[in-house]
Structure 1
Amino acid sequence: MDSAVQVLESSFVSPSEPTPMKGLWLSSLDLEQATRGHVPTFYLYSSNDVATADFFNVARLKESMAKALVAFYPLAGRLGIDNDGRMEINWNGEGALFVVARANLTVDDIKELKPSPELRKLVVPCVEPASVVLAVQVTFLKCGGVALGTAIHHVSVDALSAFHFIQTWSAFAKHGNGAVVELPCHDRTLLCPRSPPTVHPDALLTFCPKVIFSDPLGPVVVKVFTISRDQVASLKHHCSGTSTFCAVSALLWQCACIARRLPLDSKARLTFPANVRRKVRPPLPDRYFGNALFKLGVTGAVRDIATEALGSVASRIKGAVDRMDDELVRSAIDYFETAEIDTTRPLRGTLPQTHLQIVSWLGMPAYDADFGWGKPQVMSRAESIRGGVVFIMNNEGKGTADDGGVRVLVCLEAANMMELERLLYAKL
């Protein structure tokens, strides 16, 4: 289907004002994300939402991006290697890749597509050269709508920082010089290792230092589930009022253990990236720009996870969240600093069936992307190909019937997906 896309223009957008020209040191939490490459996401806009003749005017988008890149100048740089052989971002101002395309598709056509390599080819630019940190593609659809695809290298930012940039860019596009901008903090030495690096003996019991990926035993498929606001409230009630993340994660973990028909005496593992910004002492600035996360882990016997009350499973997850403090964060930073991290080999493969990884975008400003023509109808990853990886996010697109619910993007073994769906809705 990618043949339906015609590239009209490809250029680079540089900051509109001079920016520092040097190398940006990357923390070990940044380097831990290097093999994940460029994260493909997209925003979908309907021209029916606004009456204007300059819907997604390219010149306006480029001008506002150039303004945003003054504050977010690492995104205009290039990936490189410093004199010590460590990966860095060169602040050279060469610019972000900006692609304009046209597709013989409608907004509804794209809504029907699941995150996949095919969808990624349609709405997200091919990043060339690979050292480019940020690439965007504005695809004009035959119905008058627009798909805005982004590819930001994970070594540069986590999701919260990426959304901060999109917020700022869209604010400049909508309000011009009158935009209210919260400046990012680029001081990544705030997450530098201790001297000497020290890993607390108990730390490895809570954070997940290494995940083994392997070739899948069979095909994997992607499915998107919606959990309504009322279902979320009921789920949280059964989990003793715990957070939405803990309640939904408990449900998914329990259902996955059963659907995968794992041996009852085997060990099941759940991992999830956790935000460290408020956990270190002193806390990081609210607008710290970079990767400020690492994976926490929870392990239990399959028979326990599959048969316990959902509230008990949620309590296991909450326990890991509650154990994250400054010492655990510093231990994780020190561990990754001394570990051999290969930042050059792309991450490939799938998780073992005993392992489920849940990435949460709950509470993040994913839909705060009004460029002057209304908020997006859909915001999502464009591709998900790793079996055992789940993304959960608020269901808040423009026109969404059940604002306040949760959308769950699951990539799982094809042989187990139908049973997972059955169990998931049976327990809601």
Structure 2
Amino acid sequence: MAKFAITIKSSTIVKPSAQTWTGRMSLSELDMTGAISHVDTLYFYAKPTVPQNDAVLVDRLRHALSQTLVPFYPLAGRLDPIGGGRLELDCNAMGVEFIVAEAETVSLEALGVGDLARSRGTKFQPLVPEVNYALPMKEWPLLLVQLTKLGCGGMCLCFNMSHIPADGLSGLHFLNEWARVARGEGIGTMPFHDRKVLRAGEPPLGRQPSFDPAEFQRPPVMLPDVGCTDDNGNGAGGPSDEITVARLKLSKTKLLLLKEMANKGNPNRPYSTYETLTAHTWRCACKARKLKPNQPTAVGVYVDVRRRLNPPLPDAYLGDAVFGVKAISLSGDLVNEPLGFAAETIREAVEKVDGEFLSSAVEYLKHQPDLTKFQDSHEVDGVRDDGEHHEEPFYGMPNLVVSSWLRLPLLGLDFGFGKEVYMDTTFDFDGDATLSHSQDGDGSVVLAICFRSDHVDEFERLFYDDIIV
């Protein structure tokens, strides 16, 4: 649908309801590298079956938020740059921005909520609370919430959270606890704040780590003139850069067939749903983009390291415990070899991330005079202390990023007015993808992928037609 207008009714700052610890919290190298901007998640709710007073509903959400911020106090703080791309978390209880808005001309149906129709990646953008990145970083809220009342009586709750103090699992832990408090149930699991396992704030050990810096190299770019056989010669920046989000549902039966394809000749340890589907997506993308056989290509994978550390971190750890790795191959190898080749390439990239690898990576980052070049953001201007701009990793053509939502507690977020009918996010760039369980509860999986519009038809055809056992 076309862009729609919203009306901001109020914007308030919600602070913790009781006194919390104040002071500066050291951040780990994992907090300060990788994704450093805000990440949005949108939850859509049908019109409540029992009529609710809007003012009462908003007050209940705000009150529950203020209570939940007491144990989750870092999210009410602010970031403070300390030089060299490094940051500290100022736990100062400055609070969370809570916006109430209306979109009277828009309904859940008009938004296409719940359907699998193609759309622009920014179709939900008016529902996302904006971060004013022009302000000094010390003034950015780490969490912004926007409750938008729709013309049909339904609602959208959007949470725009900084990836620095909380990764996806941490953020969802917070949201689920907030929902529990709003329902009158109280906090179920307290967050774990100790970053000592990741040596947050500690100086380097004094010895150079045995870490391969190639792990942090930028992903491949299109080879000049030879990387793509597309008739119009377009590379990553050609005239057909308009992007489309396709949501492709794969039934449980088709998923089992795809796993059978991937596991031919691999009797020992079958590939997981993520390994199989990401491998299939990678191969189909190479074909749809018409990459030449000698074109290097990467798929970015985010690895939850909580249980890979020694000692491990609990699931309730509040922080960024994700490490990004790249599986790299030649397009020709991915296309010509069996599906298991791509799956094994992905597995090898992930399995090297163990306790020793992470310890070495953290030590390597501690030795770096400036972390800016290790930071990814689509909104925040990357300027080093010396005034130079840094080039961020480019995960568009010929590359992909496939984020797994398969193990995240995404669904069933009930603040007291029922569970969501749909959840989603906005998408940023060609090749940005997520894997999640279908909200139908039928065992199917949905790939949501942002793809160049001139490639998406062929990608969708291949995604289904290439499942042949």
- For residues 9-408 of structure 1, the aligned pairs below 5 Å read 9-33=10-34, 35=36, 37-47=37-47, 50-54=49-53, 57-82=57-82, 86-104=86-104, 105-111=106-112, 114=119, 116-121=121-126, 123-128=127-132, 131-174=140-183, 176=184, 178-192=185-199, 195-196=205-206, 198-201=208-211, 203=212, 207-211=215-219, 216-217=237-238, 218-240=241-263, 241-339=270-368, 340-342=370-372, 345=381, 350-381=394-425, 383-396=426-439, 400=440, 403-408=442-447
Q: Is the 8 A contact 1:41 1:151 kept in 2?
A: yes
Q: Is the 8 A contact 1:349 1:386 kept in 2?
A: no
Q: Is the 8 A contact 1:77 1:94 kept in 2?
A: yes
Shift of 1:168: 0.5
1:220-273 deviations in whole A, cap 9, x for unaligned? 322221222222222223222421100100100010111111111222222211
Equivalent position amino acid for 1:380 in 2: D
1:334-370 deviations in whole A, cap 9, x for unaligned? 2333343226625878535232221111110011411
- 2:5 and 2:340 map into 1 onto residues whose CA distance is 48
**Aligned-partner SS, 1:278:** helix
**Aligned-partner SS, 2:69:** helix
**Aligned-partner SS, 2:326:** strand
- 1:42 and 1:329 map into 2 onto residues whose CA distance is 32
Shift of 1:190: 2.1
Equivalent position amino acid for 2:444 in 1: G
Q: Is the 8 A contact 1:352 1:388 kept in 2?
A: yes
Equivalent position amino acid for 2:422 in 1: V
Instruction: Quote the residue 2:231 is aligned against.
Output: none
Q: Is the 8 A contact 1:213 1:348 kept in 2?
A: no
Identify which range, 109-118 or 218-227, moves more after superposition: 109-118
Q: Is the 8 A contact 1:216 1:387 kept in 2?
A: no
Give the total of aligned pairs. 416
Equivalent position amino acid for 2:19 in 1: P
Equivalent position amino acid for 1:119 in 2: F
TM-score w.r.t. length of structure 2: 0.82
Equivalent position amino acid for 1:190 in 2: V
Equivalent position amino acid for 2:148 in 1: T
**Aligned-partner SS, 1:117:** coil
TM-score w.r.t. length of structure 1: 0.90
| Greater C-alpha Rg | 2
Equivalent position amino acid for 1:164 in 2: H
Give the direction of change, closer, same or farther, for the CA distance of 1:119–1:83 in structure 2 (3 Å limit): closer
Shift of 1:387: 1.6
Task: Kindly indicate whether residue 457 of structure 2 is the aligned counterpart of residue 424 of structure 1.
Answer: no
Give the direction of change, closer, same or farther, for the CA distance of 1:419–1:199 in structure 2 (3 Å limit): farther
Shift of 1:204: 5.1
1:405-427 deviations in whole A, cap 9, x for unaligned? 21212122222211111100112
**Aligned-partner SS, 1:71:** coil
Indicate the structure with greater helix content: 1
Equivalent position amino acid for 2:260 in 1: H
Give the direction of change, closer, same or farther, for the CA distance of 1:269–1:137 in structure 2 (3 Å limit): same
Equivalent position amino acid for 1:25 in 2: S
**Aligned-partner SS, 1:4:** coil
Task: Kindly indicate whether residue 448 of structure 2 is the aligned counterpart of residue 409 of structure 1.
Answer: yes
1:182-203 deviations in whole A, cap 9, x for unaligned? 11111223212761365435x5
Q: Is the 8 A contact 1:350 1:387 kept in 2?
A: no
Identify which range, 94-103 or 330-339, moves more after superposition: 330-339
Give the direction of change, closer, same or farther, for the CA distance of 1:124–1:211 in structure 2 (3 Å limit): same
Give the direction of change, closer, same or farther, for the CA distance of 1:33–1:157 in structure 2 (3 Å limit): farther
